[in-house]
C-alpha cells in the first residue's frame, strides 16, 4: 500500500454559541499495518476488531410525534390526537478524540433527544453539528470528561481499496452490544441515483448489514474506516443482501465542514449538462468502450465553459480516474473542495484528445433567494418560496438548466398543503401572469380573487389546475 499521506491539521470547531472547542483534535492518521501473512489474516479478525470496536457507538434518537385517532370518533368530538415518543436506533463512529461522532442523517433526523452510548456502556447526550441529507450523513458532538481522549477510527480516504478486499461491518444496532460481520468489497463507486446528484458513490459490499447498523463502520484489514454503512438492498427484508457504505472521502468532507463551523456542505458543480456515452456514440467517436460523459449543454460562464469544454466533447477521465458515465463525472467533481483544480481528459468531437483544467466552485446563487412564506387567502398560503438559481437547483437536486422561476422549498399546514403543492414544485403561472420571481408571485397572490388558475412544473412536466378562492 502507498505511504500515509499528511492529514489536515487540527481544526477549530465552532459551536452553535459561536465559541470554539477548548482543545480541538486532529483526525487520527490511518495505520498501514496489514497482517504479516495470508495465513495470519485468515486465522482471526480479532486483532482488527479489538482495535476498531471501541470507536463504534450506539445512537438513539427520541422524537415526539402526534398519534392520530380514528376519524370516525373525531366526527363526534371524541378523541384528540395524542403525543407519543418515537425512538430510532442506529450506530455511529467516533472520528475525533474530542467527541466528534458521525452517523447517518436518517438515524437522527427530527430527533429532539439524541443519546450516544459508548462501547464501555457510558452514555452521553449529543447535539447535531451538521446534518446533510444529500449524503445521508450527520455529525454529532458529545462532551467528554476533561482530559479524556476517546478511541477513534482513522479515516482512510485513499483510492487503493479494490474489489475483492476483505472488509468488516461493525455496528451497535440494538443497544445490547456490537455486531461484526465480514465480507468483501463487491463494487466501488456504485451510484444508486442515476442523476448523480445525490453526492455520493457508494462502496458496495456483501457483508451482512443488520437492522440498526446504519451509521456503523465499514473497515478494512488495517482497522481503518473506509466507509459508513448506510443501507442494504434485500428482497427478503433481512440483513442478507447488498450493502452500501458512504466512502470515507465523502465522510471527511462532511466532518471537516462541521468542525469548521459550517452549516451546510458546499459542493462544486460542473456547470454543464451531460449524458452517458452509449455503444453507438462510442463507435462514432472511435472509443473502444461505451464510457465517459458527453457534454450536451454548457451553463454560460460556468466552470465547464471557462475550462474550455464544448458541446459534443466527451470527458473520459477526471484526475486520472476513468469516468464511467455522466453520474460518475458529477460525483468526481462534487467530491472536490471549492478552489481545487480538476484535470479532465477530453475527446473532442473531431477525434482529438486534450487535457483541460476545471476549477471547482460552488453553483452561483443568482438571483438571490429572497425567501418568503406566502400568506393570505390563496392556494399558496403556507408555502415557503425562493427564487430559482443554480445554487438552489443544486441544493434541491434539480436541473440547473431549468431556468428562472419560483421554487417551493417547503409546505406547512394550510391551503398550499391542502391543494397538493409539494416541495420542489416550480411556479410558472398564476391567473395568466407568468411568474419569474418571488416578487412576481407575491404580487399575483395579493388581491382578492374568486378563482385561481395555477400552473406549476413538477418532475419536468407542467400541470395546470383551477381552485376556488
Q: Of 132, 136, 157, 220, which one is the catalytic site residue?
A: 136
* Strand duo 321-322 + 202-205: pairing: unpaired
- Residue (of 146, 107, 147) closest to 128 by Cα position: 107
CA distance 86 to 65: 7
pLDDT tens track, the chain, 469 positions: 444 433 333 333 333 334 444 445 677 777 656 556 666 655 688 889 999 999 999 999 886 555 555 555 555 555 555 555 556 689 999 999 999 999 999 999 888 899 999 999 899 999 999 999 888 999 999 999 988 999 999 999 877 888 999 999 999 877 678 889 999 999 888 776 544 444 568 999 988 887 778 899 999 999 999 999 998 876 655 556 688 999 999 999 999 999 999 888 888 999 999 999 999 999 988 889 999 999 999 999 999 999 999 999 999 999 998 998 898 898 889 888 899 999 999 999 888 999 999 999 999 999 999 999 999 999 999 999 999 999 998 888 788 888 888 999 999 989 999 999 999 999 999 999 999 999 999 999 998 888 999 999 998 899 999 988 6
Domain count for the chain, please give it.
4
pLDDT for 12? 33
pLDDT for 425? 95
Q: Are residues 132 and 50 in the same domain?
A: yes
pLDDT for 30? 72
Q: Are residues 186 and 255 in the same domain?
A: yes
The phi, psi pair for 234, rounded to 5°, reads -145, 125
CA distance 153 to 50: 12
Q: Are residues 343 and 377 in the same domain?
A: no
Query: Is the preceding peptide bond at 367 cis, omega within 30 degrees of 0?
Result: yes
pLDDT for 194? 42
Q: How far is CA 280 from the centre of its chain?
A: 33
pLDDT for 21? 46
CA distance 469 to 14: 48
Q: What is the pLDDT of residues 260-294, one digit of tens each?
A: 998 888 889 999 999 999 999 999 888 899 999 99
CATH number of the CATH domain containing 344: 2.30.42.10
Range of the domain at 243: 166-259
CA distance 152 to 255: 14
pLDDT for 403? 81
Q: Are residues 287 and 234 in the same domain?
A: no
pLDDT for 6? 37
Q: Are residues 417 and 463 in the same domain?
A: yes
| 8 Å CB contact between 259 and 11 | yes
pLDDT for 1? 43
Let me know if 350 is a catalytic residue. Answer: no
Q: Are residues 430 and 379 in the same domain?
A: yes
Q: Classify residue 247: in a domain, yes or no.
A: yes
Give Dmax (Cα) for the chain. 80
Q: Classify residue 3: in a domain, yes or no.
A: no
User: Which set of grid coordinates corresponds to residue 108?
Assistant: 437522527
Q: Classify residue 307: in a domain, yes or no.
A: yes
CA distance 102 to 216: 9
Among 359, 384, 401, the domain boundary falls at 359
- Residue (of 254, 93, 114, 103) closest to 170 by Cα position: 93
Let me know if 106 is a catalytic residue. Answer: yes
Among 202, 230, 259, the domain boundary falls at 259
Contacts of 60 (CB under 8 A, 6+ apart): 87, 88, 89, 90, 114, 115, 117, 175
Q: Of 88, 106, 313, 425, which one is the catalytic site residue?
A: 106
Q: Are residues 50 and 137 in the same domain?
A: yes
Q: Classify residue 16: in a domain, yes or no.
A: no
179-209 core/surface letters (b: 16 or more CB in 10 A; e: else)? bbbbbebbeebebebeebbbbbbbbbbbbbb
Q: Which long-range CB contacts under 8 A does 46-49 form with residues at least 24 apart?
A: 47/223, 48/168, 48/219, 48/221, 48/222, 48/223, 49/168, 49/170, 49/180
Q: Are residues 309 and 398 in the same domain?
A: no
Let me know if 214 is a catalytic residue. Answer: yes
pLDDT for 8? 32
Q: Classify residue 33: in a domain, yes or no.
A: no
CATH number of the CATH domain containing 71: 2.40.10.10
User: Which set of grid coordinates corresponds to residue 342?
Assistant: 480538476
Q: Of 60, 91, 200, 214, which one is the catalytic site residue?
A: 214
Q: Classify residue 113: in a domain, yes or no.
A: yes
Q: Are residues 412 and 349 in the same domain?
A: no
Dihedral sign for Cα 23, 18, 251, 56, please: positive
CA distance 4 to 36: 18
Q: Classify residue 80: in a domain, yes or no.
A: yes
- Residue (of 141, 185, 138, 195) closest to 21 by Cα position: 141
Among 142, 158, 181, the domain boundary falls at 142
Q: Classify residue 4: in a domain, yes or no.
A: no
Amino acid at each position: 500500500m502507498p505511504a500515509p499521506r499528511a492529514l489536515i491539521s487540527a481544526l477549530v470547531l465552532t459551536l452553535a454559541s459561536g465559541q470554539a472547542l477548548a482543545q480541538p483534535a486532529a483526525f487520527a492518521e490511518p495505520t498501514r499495518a496489514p497482517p504479516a501473512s495470508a495465513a495470519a489474516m485468515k486465522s482471526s479478525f480479532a486483532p482488527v476488531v479489538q482495535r476498531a470496536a471501541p470507536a463504534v457507538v450506539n445512537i438513539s434518537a427520541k422524537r415526539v410525534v402526534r398519534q392520530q385517532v380514528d376519524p370516525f370518533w373525531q366526527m363526534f368530538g371524541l378523541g384528540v390526537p395524542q403525543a407519543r415518543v418515537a425512538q430510532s436506533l442506529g450506530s455511529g463512529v467516533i472520528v475525533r478524540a474530542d467527541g466528534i461522532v458521525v452517523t447517518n442523517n436518517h438515524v437522527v433526523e427530527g430527533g429532539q433527544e439524541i443519546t450516544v452510548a459508548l462501547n464501555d456502556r457510558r452514555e452521553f447526550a449529543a447535539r447535531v453539528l451538521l446534518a446533510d441529507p444529500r449524503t445521508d450523513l450527520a455529525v454529532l458532538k458529545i462532551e467528554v470528561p476533561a482530559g479524556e481522549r476517546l478511541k477513534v477510527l482513522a479515516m482512510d480516504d485513499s483510492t487503493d481499496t479494490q474489489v475483492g478486499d476483505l472488509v468488516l461491518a461493525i455496528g451497535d444496532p440494538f443497544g445490547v452490544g456490537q455486531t461484526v460481520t465480514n465480507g468483501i468489497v463487491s463494487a466501488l463507486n456504485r451510484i444508486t441515483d442515476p442523476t448523480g446528484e445525490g453526492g455520493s458513490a457508494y462502496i458496495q459490499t456483501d457483508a451482512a448489514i443488520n437492522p440498526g447498523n446504519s451509521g456503523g463502520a465499514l473497515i478494512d484489514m488495517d482497522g481503518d474506516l473506509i466507509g459508513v454503512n448506510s443501507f442494504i438492498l434485500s428482497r427478503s427484508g433481512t440483513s442478507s443482501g447488498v450493502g452500501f457504505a458512504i466512502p470515507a472521502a465523502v465522510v471527511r468532507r462532511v466532518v471537516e465542514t462541521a468542525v469548521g463551523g459550517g452549516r451546510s456542505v458546499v459542493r462544486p458543480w460542473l456547470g454543464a449538462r451531460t449524458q452517458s456515452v452509449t455503444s453507438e456514440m462510442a463507435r462514432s467517436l472511435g472509443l473502444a468502450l461505451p464510457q465517459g460523459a458527453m457534454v450536451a449543454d454548457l451553463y454560460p460562464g460556468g466552470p465547464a465553459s471557462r475550462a474550455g469544454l464544448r458541446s459534443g466533447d466527451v470527458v473520459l477521465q477526471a484526475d486520472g480516474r476513468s469516468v464511467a458515465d455522466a453520474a460518475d463525472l458529477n460525483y468526481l467533481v462534487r467530491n472536490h473542495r471549492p478552489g481545487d483544480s480538476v484535470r479532465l481528459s477530453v475527446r473532442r468531437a473531431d477525434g482529438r484528445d486534450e487535457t483541460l483544467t476545471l476549477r471547482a466552485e460552488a453553483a452561483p446563487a443568482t438571483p438571490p433567494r429572497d425567501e418568503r412564506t406566502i400568506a393570505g387567502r390563496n392556494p399558496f398560503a403556507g408555502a415557503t418560496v425562493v427564487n430559482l438559481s443554480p445554487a438552489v437547483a443544486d441544493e434541491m437536486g434539480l436541473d440547473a438548466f431549468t431556468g428562472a422561476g419560483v421554487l417551493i422549498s417547503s409546505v406547512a399546514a394550510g391551503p398550499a398543503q391542502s391543494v397538493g403543492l409539494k416541495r420542489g414544485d416550480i411556479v410558472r403561472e398564476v391567473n395568466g401572469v407568468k411568474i419569474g420571481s418571488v416578487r412576481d408571485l407575491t404580487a399575483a397572490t395579493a388581491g382578492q380573487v374568486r378563482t385561481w388558475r395555477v400552473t406549476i412544473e413538477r418532475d419536468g412536466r407542467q400541470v395546470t389546475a383551477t381552485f376556488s378562492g
